[in-house]
């Protein structure tokens, strides 16, 4: 392959990747295509240590709310913001019926 062919193949691959949309925080289409190191802390544990049952909770940039729901916090005391339109729609379908306030931000 010459440089021009390499660039054409790279561009074609990029166009194919661009078609992969995601909703929420499901990045499974990237499985075995990326790597990361384990973090030295546990975000869920940190939040759980501070979050009290009567607290109002705001999840900014919630994605699809998957992590938020694992906190098992009172839905009526929970609000979320999201800017990515497919995730806003997902939140309206899954979180709003539970009583969680959903707001789109720009």
Task: List, for residues 69-85, the tens digit of each pLDDT value.
Answer: 999 999 999 999 999 99
Give the pLDDT confidence score for residue 36 in this predicted structure: 82
pLDDT-derived band at 2 (thresholds 50, 70, 90) equals confident
Whole-number Å distance between alpha carbons of 12 and 85: 26
Give the pLDDT confidence score for residue 23 in this predicted structure: 72
Closest to 63 measured CA to CA, from 33, 39, 83: 83
Task: List, for residues 32-41, the tens digit of each pLDDT value.
Answer: 888 888 999 9
- Which of the two residues, 17 and 105, has the higher pLDDT score? 105
Residue 6 belongs to what H/E stretch?
Answer: helix 3-18
Domain boundaries, the chain: 3-104
């Amino acid at each position: 392959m010459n440089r021009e062919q390499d660039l054409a193949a790279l561009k074609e691959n990029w166009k194919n990747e661009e078609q992969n949309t995601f909703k929420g925080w499901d990045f499974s289409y990237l499985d075995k295509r990326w790597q990361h190191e384990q973090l030295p802390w546990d975000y869920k544990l940190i939040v759980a240590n501070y979050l009290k049952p009567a607290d109002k909770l705001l999840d900014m940039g919630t994605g699809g709310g998957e992590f938020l729901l694992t906190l098992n916090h009172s839905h009526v005391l929970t609000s979320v913001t999201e800017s990515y339109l497919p995730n806003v729609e997902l939140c309206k379908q899954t979180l709003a019926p539970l009583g969680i306030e959903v707001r789109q931000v720009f």
